[in-house]
Structure 1
Amino acid sequence: MPTEETFVIIGAGLAGAKTAEELRARDFAGHIVLLGDEEHLPYERPPLSKEYFAGDKRLLDFTVQRGDWYRDHRVELRLGTTVTALDPAAHTVTLPDDSTLHYDKLALATGSRPRLIPLPGADASGVHVLRTVDHADALLSVVRADGARLVIVGAGWIGLEVAANARGHGADVTVLETADQPLQAALGPEIGAVFAGLHRAHGVDLRVRTSVEEIVVESGRATGVRLGDGSVVPADAVLLAVGAVPNIEVARDAGLAVDGGVLVDSTLTTSDPDIVAVGDIAEAEHPVLGGRVRVEHWANALNQPAVAAATMLGRPASYDRLPYFFTDQYDLGMEYVGHAPRDATVVTRGDVAGLQFLAFWLDSGNRVRAGMNVNIWDAGDDIRALLASGAAVDPARLADPGVALAGLAG
């Protein structure tokens, strides 16, 4: 009698949980083991800096599935379990108690962790990062207090979303950024300036071109942040929000091909044919954008598992969705699709000052590589069509609201 196949998934976040779902949806009848290092059921992470931090959602609202789903669908969910090693030749993973678990196919969904910076005092009580619901709860316990003072180091997406929602709780917020504008690496200085104005208009003390020297610590607790000019910004809590690091160590130490992430082809297969990678860690060949792309976006964790599951089952599949993310800050709602090169030219159309506009990132051949809609909700399909067409556009016509986007796709 043939032995039942075992598929193991390392990482019990959204990507890992969705991979288990997709395997069952595709009628995989074998054994599924889902391993996660947190004690919580798998959940989505964007609400941690958005609706959950604002107080508009509970953890249950963004938990992927209730606990009985895993039982009913025969998914062995092992929480609080960190894989310590992977042996592709033996087809085993090593668990914290040094036992091994055999797999026939393996999915890596290990996600990311907050990037840490070597600041004196960074290990003090009162210094926070944001990746888990426990992190969010710890930070919320401070910012909800009357007169709370929050200092955020880093003006990326997490930092700015927390800043907006902390202001909603009445906290005094200072954001410190080394670049010329917030979000400069992601959106460029022109659009970064829009977000700078937005936050300052809502009372955030946003300081750009600012260096941080140390966390000031008194009696073991952070009480402020010392800047490069010697001044100190007082704080009841300090959030380090300077990006994320993909958790690729298990893959790297097992000899899989890695770079900034785990290298996969468009089917999400790694350099080992029995291992796929999904979510934050997957540095994938993209059939539409060309080249490899790795993005730490919720949409990848949600949508890549369908392809990963098909690949694990030996069925044809290719991940060709365009990268997508969104944010809501104060009265600004935004969606971004695509992947812009660092040297892209930015073209806007609409009322930038009034926060109702579109923005486009063009490469050197005037092809649209990314697009963003700000408080305009009927342009998404046209933006995607422009990206998919690969057609060169006239920047002047692209900027003209009187010219239909649909007519620019060629």
Structure 2
Amino acid sequence: MAGRLVVAGGGQAAFALVAKLRALKDERPITIVAGEASFPYQRPPLSKKYLLREMDLERLLYRPAAWYGEHDIDIRLSTTVTAIDRAARTVSLSDGSILDYETLAIATGSTPRRLPDAVGGNLEGVYVVRDFIDADKLADEMKPGRRALIIGGGYIGLEAAAVARNLGLDVTVIEMADRILQRVASAATSSIVREIHTTRGVDIREGAGLVRLVGIDGRVTAAELTDGTTLPVDLVIVGIGVVANDTIAHDAGLAVANGILVDEFGRTEDPAIHAMGDCAVLPFKGLNIRLESVQNAVDQAEAVAALLAGGSAPYEPKPWFWSDQYDVKLQIAGFGLGHDETIVRAGQREGSVSVWYFRQGKFIAVDAINDAKAYVTGKKLLDLGVTPERAALEDPATDLKTLLQ
């Protein structure tokens, strides 16, 4: 039997790794060191169905508590790995104990960026949503007629804006960049998503940053913006990106760059240590990137599990993402970074549309808004490495299925 696998982290990637290992009949001892008090659970619903009280924590769990014992997995809740001794192959834990390992998997995820205290980030009524405790506190604030300010026009901020509007709050989104979704989507997609929100009453202010939050008796009451305006607010949701949790790797002398650098097998510089999920920087088409998605966390972790169980296949990312806002489903296949052209194509159903991304004439990604057929077709084309004929794609009469022939 192989020696102990220690997994630092208790999120999606950590669970996917150990579940796949056991599915592959790998019987090595496993210890998960999970920082939260809860058994591993889904995070995407926290800013959607859980916040809307349509799901409870028990429904978010990947598996019930008994599953871990049944599969001989030691899980230590409310505990973190604080240090790695690579020479001794041990990890120190926050409870003072030390664990030996043959293999260490770092799946510590990422942490939302918070506003500095100097601009009011420590005021009551200012939130980020990283775990169910954050979501519980925020849900208590979401009452009709209250004024919510969302700082950041990325997917997390826009999903929060959609939930707040659905609950009857007055919502303003501020985005310091020239447009919402500028870091992750095309101008065409930004325009489509902007209209989805503005038609539902969200005030979106692009090119507007925060100067500071103002409070009375420690509670946020207003926001001063870089455009010179002051907004009265009752609560603030901060969605300004995340920072990879790579401190323990950095302190152990491993290479990091807002994430832990790994190869195509998920290995760090130390062959006994792997990293996966949001905390890992991996190779993809000549780039070193972090893929912040459930899909990547699962697929990369399962690829590492297969390797540990005796396989030899590298991880080949096939990115896909999704975002639910109101009754709109945005599905994304591929990775549009560096695109130099887009084609916007109307779908067959009212309100459906897709944006197709190209770089130097090659098809690299698709954003499908309420258009499952465009998403499925685009994903298959990407899997096949096929660039569709431009004329056919631009013709609204073209059946997308024919692009696969």
Could you state the TM-score of these two structures normalised by the residue count of structure 1?
0.93
Q: Deviations over 1:80-128 (max 9, x none)?
A: 1111111222111111244321001111100000012435111111111
Query: Which residue identity lines up with residue 130 of structure 1 in the other structure?
Result: V
Whether 2:180 is the aligned partner of 1:185: answer no
Say how many residue pairs are matched. 404
User: Aligned-pair distance for 1:209?
Assistant: 1.1
Distance in structure 2 (CA, Å) of the matches to 1:356 and 1:401: 12
Distance in structure 1 (CA, Å) of the matches to 2:387 and 2:95: 57
Partner secondary structure for residue 359 of structure 1: strand
Distance in structure 2 (CA, Å) of the matches to 1:86 and 1:123: 32
Whether 2:316 is the aligned partner of 1:320: answer yes
Distance in structure 2 (CA, Å) of the matches to 1:7 and 1:351: 48
Whether 2:139 is the aligned partner of 1:140: answer yes
Partner secondary structure for residue 204 of structure 2: strand
Distance in structure 1 (CA, Å) of the matches to 2:318 and 2:402: 21
Structure 1 equivalent of residue 325 of structure 2: 329
State which of 363, 380, 383 in structure 2 corresponds to 1:385: 380
Q: Deviations over 1:137-164 (max 9, x none)?
A: 1111001x24221111001111111111
State which of 197, 200, 203 in structure 1 corresponds to 2:201: 203
Distance in structure 2 (CA, Å) of the matches to 1:400 and 1:196: 25
Structure 1 equivalent of residue 39 of structure 2: 41
Structure 1 equivalent of residue 365 of structure 2: 370
Could you list the runs of 4 or more consecutive aligned residues of structure 1 that deviate by over 4 angstroms after TM superposition?
351-354, 391-394, 406-410
Distance in structure 2 (CA, Å) of the matches to 1:216 and 1:21: 47
Partner secondary structure for residue 39 of structure 2: coil
Structure 2 equivalent of residue 124 of structure 1: 123
Structure 2 equivalent of residue 114 of structure 1: 112
Structure 2 equivalent of residue 169 of structure 1: 167
Whether 2:223 is the aligned partner of 1:220: answer no
Query: Which residue identity lines up with residue 105 of structure 2 in the other structure?
Result: A
Q: Would the aligned equivalents of 1:343 and 1:363 in 2 still touch at CA under 8 Å?
A: yes
Distance in structure 2 (CA, Å) of the matches to 1:46 and 1:223: 29
Query: Which residue identity lines up with residue 292 of structure 1 in the other structure?
Result: N
- Give the alignment's Cα RMSD to 1 decimal: 2.0
Whether 2:302 is the aligned partner of 1:303: answer no
Q: Would the aligned equivalents of 1:269 and 1:311 in 2 still touch at CA under 8 Å?
A: no
Distance in structure 1 (CA, Å) of the matches to 2:146 and 2:299: 39
User: Aligned-pair distance for 1:409?
Assistant: 5.7
Unaligned runs of 5+ in 2: none
Q: Deviations over 1:365-407 (max 9, x none)?
A: x111111222122333321232234445443432222334455
Deviates more, 1:301-310 or 1:125-134: 301-310
Query: Which residue identity lines up with residue 122 of structure 2 in the other structure?
Result: D
Distance in structure 1 (CA, Å) of the matches to 2:221 and 2:176: 21
User: Aligned-pair distance for 1:336?
Assistant: 0.2
Q: Deviations over 1:178-233 (max 9, x none)?
A: 12221121112221011111111111111111121001111111112111243221
Q: Would the aligned equivalents of 1:115 and 1:244 in 2 still touch at CA under 8 Å?
A: yes
The verdict on how the C-alpha distance between 1:198 and 1:146 changes in structure 2, with shifts beyond 3 A counting, is closer
Structure 2 equivalent of residue 63 of structure 1: 61
Report % sequence identity: 36
Partner secondary structure for residue 378 of structure 1: helix
Whether 2:270 is the aligned partner of 1:272: answer yes
User: Aligned-pair distance for 1:351?
Assistant: 5.1
Unaligned runs of 5+ in 1: none
